[in-house]
Structure 1
Amino acid sequence: MTSIKRIVVTGDFLRLNADGNASQNINIKWLYHLVRPALQRVGTLPIDLLISTDDEQCFARQYYEVNGLPRTLKSWVKLFNSRANTRALAAIHDRLHDSLVVAFELPEVIRAALERLEIPYVDFTVHPARFLDDLLFGVRSNVPGLGKALGEFVVFDEEISLSAGLAMATLAKLPNIAQVAGYENVALFAGQTIDDKVLIRDGKLLGSSEFLDQFHTLCQSHSKVLVKPHPYAKNNPIIVALTRLFHNTELIHNNFYHLLAQDPITHVYSITSSTSIEAAYFDKRGVHLAVYPYAFSDHNASGGHYLTISPAFFLPQFWGKVLQQMALPTRSFMPVELRAERSRMRKSMRNFWGADIFETI
């Protein structure tokens, strides 16, 4: 790896929504403000912010131009899982060759390019299991040995399973949901946003027409299929197709975790939603109709795999481990232990993903 002269905090700076706005700037700024104090306390390198802007120096604008594409949602989808060509690699190298890249949810095209260029990165995401006292995260990196170095921050699957038991005990106090009363072998289908990155395949977003046979099979396999739209995509064409074409489907808007506590529900289906991963912790069978593209473990942070960690990555001792593993200069620092607080990260991200059901009586 090349000589590191700065730290660049970024994320999916290429991502645009249907209105053409840079939808991930808010998450990149969140990460920047979250980790900068610890990085300043521990390290000596300057810390820069890389987001999408409207000026001519915008790297996102330049990257789309290098690829001969307009800055649109469709172009982002096309680029997301692509392999960067020589010109694109050169642009990434010119911008980031002297950097440690710290990111929230890098697009695969950029992450893979950093691997090829041997530019170090540390990339975070929210872990699929979101019912614990606070959010868990995944971290992946091409820094050799980083997964082992971060061992004290790892969260093991046993802890997640025990937390699911506590969550289930809480949910057992709630009344049954009327729409499943008297039924057996009920399925839940969880919707997603229309532009969810895990729906991208071969430069396109997966659509309802590709799953009609699977929809037919799952509806035949269950007495009833409850269809829960994503709160930000209530008219998703996949949801519309499923509920209009199959007679034993019914829309439902109850809290996802409350639904998981219903005995008649045996399966949780989705195209590629993390809800199907969470379902297994509640003794439901989670089924993806397409391949879920990410893997989480308690031992591996390399090769694009995520290491499951606690939300303590904003503390100086976390970044001390990272910088020391890279043999970068560090300052003398004292480890910081903050008082435990439920939902600290949920509140910071301003998103509870339905886990607010555990917050109130």
Structure 2
Amino acid sequence: MNIFLTADFLMTNEPEQRSNLKWFQDILQRPVSIKESNSVSTFVLSDICKDRSRSEFFSLLNISFDEKDTQLFFSNEDLNVASLEYVSKILRNCDLIIGYELSEQTRYILNKINIKFIDIWLHPIRYLNDVMFGIYSNSDSINQRIKSYSVDEELFYINAEMLKVQNYRGFRRFKNNLIPGSALFVGQTLTDKAIFSNGKMLSVLDFKNEFKNITKKYERVYYSRHPFLKEGDEEIISYLKRFPNVEVISSPTYNLLAAKEIEYVFTVSSSVVHEAHYFGKESEFLFKPIFNTFGESKKYYPIMHAIFFENFWNSVLNDVETDKKDMYLGDNKIRDTLSFYWGYRKIDKLESLKETVSFIFKKINK
């Protein structure tokens, strides 16, 4: 079986692809290569097409191409016979793609040209003992085998309930002066792939009517600015100042989700709204989420450490019954390996201590 490990080889620029493929390959190369007959290799268009790469694909769509753009938008309606044949010809020797964060459009193309794929995203529920991956395949049989390794959804509720109690009894108690019956808007970075649509990055400024209507329903609307965002959102902040009941708040996200005063959580497309559901909050995406985590239309299954194991891939790829026990490597293994912490540092005692010590050390050495 010829298996290609890839990122979003059409929408995402090559430096970003290669950055993700480096760790993606190091994690998956060995366990996926469960049989000598499996040929596992990384796949970037220019490695196969040489001088043609992504530029030829976009020229077939009559879309201007700039290789410096991190994400280059195209829609399913832009596709034509020539562009589909182009991708089909390149992948003619591919039996399966295992992709990291494939866009909806790239998945659509793979379906159209009958290429089997397994798509792996970082899962949006990120307050458990480790981060997880959300995994989906366009093969029903593979999907069912992936599902059998899913993390039990009840753990999402249990951990959220623990955080509610931790808010008032835990190691770092939340100094709560929130107004009861409030709403929370969760902001994002300015270049988040989840908010990329029609050639631009969306923000609250693209949903002014929706935002204005919500400010009329709640006495206070808190705007949680993304902690990594330090500049570039001046127009957004200026817009928010028009509303007397809107307040920009810097409190940690999980403290806000755990607070009973917050009743409603909304966003353009932040993963925090997925998490808000398990805290018992009414929640809404103003723009479509990358994938669903609950409800009947759920497709991407939460998988934690299983993807590091040969048994998982032997089961998923070859339908071999395997032992699902002992597929847990310990707390924060993925989180530490990839340095993916986000708001977790604020709710974990050890990570919080590390952050405090690091801050003190930096001040001493200035």
TM-score (norm: length of structure 2): 0.82
Structure 1: stretches of 5+ with no match in the other structure: none
Contact 2:16 2:70 in 1 (8 A): no
1:198-277 to structure 2, matched below 5 A, reads 198-234=194-230, 235-236=232-233, 239-277=236-274
Asked if 1:92 is matched to 2:66, the reply is no
Query: Deviation digits for residues 22-41 of structure 1, max 9, x if unmatched?
Result: 33432222211111010224
Residue 169 of structure 1, aligned match among 160, 165, 169: 165
Aligned CA RMSD, in angstroms, stands at 3.1
Residue 50 of structure 1: which of 37, 43, 47 is its match?
Answer: 43
Maintained 8 Å contact 1:82/1:109: no
Report the alpha carbon displacement of residue 8 of structure 1 after superposing the two structures with TM. 0.8
Judging changes above 3 Å, is the alpha-carbon distance between structure 1 residues 255 and 22 closer, same or farther for their aligned structure 2 residues? same
Q: Which residue of 1 aligns with 2:187?
A: 191
Q: CA deviation at 1:132?
A: 0.7
Is residue 17 of structure 2 the alignment partner of residue 28 of structure 1?
Answer: no
Partner AA of 2:112 in structure 1: R
Measured in 2, the distance between the counterparts of 1:205 and 1:88 equals 25
- Where in structure 2 are there 5+ consecutive unaligned residues? 351-366
The residue type paired with residue 339 of structure 2 is R
Describe the SS at the equivalent of 1:147.
helix
CA contact (8 A) 1:268 1:276 kept: yes
Q: Secondary structure at the match of 2:3?
A: strand
Distance 1:338 1:291, change over 3 A: closer
What's the counterpart of residue 114 of structure 2?
A: 118
> 1:213-267 CA distances to partner (integer Å, 9 max, x unpaired)?
2222222222222211123334336742542221222222222112222232222
Equivalences for residues 115-154 of structure 1 within 5 A: 115-154=111-150
CA deviations on 1:127-179 (whole Å, 9 max, x unpaired) are 22111111122111122311222343112322221222233333332333355
User: Displacement of 1:21 after TM fit?
Assistant: 7.0
Q: Which has the higher helix share?
A: 2
State whether structure 2 residue 284 is matched by structure 1 residue 287.
yes
The alpha carbon displacement at 1:313 in A equals 1.1
Query: Which SS does the other structure have where 1:267 is aligned?
Result: strand
Partners of 2:28 and 2:308 within 8 A in 1:
yes
- More relative contact order in 1 or in 2 (CA 8 Å, sep 6+)? 1
8 Å CA contact 2:10, 2:106 repeated in 1: no
Query: Any conservation in 2 of the 1:276–1:288 contact (CA below 8 Å)?
Result: yes
Q: Cα–Cα, structure 1 residues 115 and 238, in superposed 2: closer, same or farther, change >3 Å? A: farther
Give 1:290 shift.
2.9
How many correspondences in the alignment? 344
Q: 1:21 and 1:6, CA in 2 relative to 1: closer, same or farther beyond 3 A?
A: closer
**With structure 1 as the length reference, what TM-score do the two structures score?**
0.83
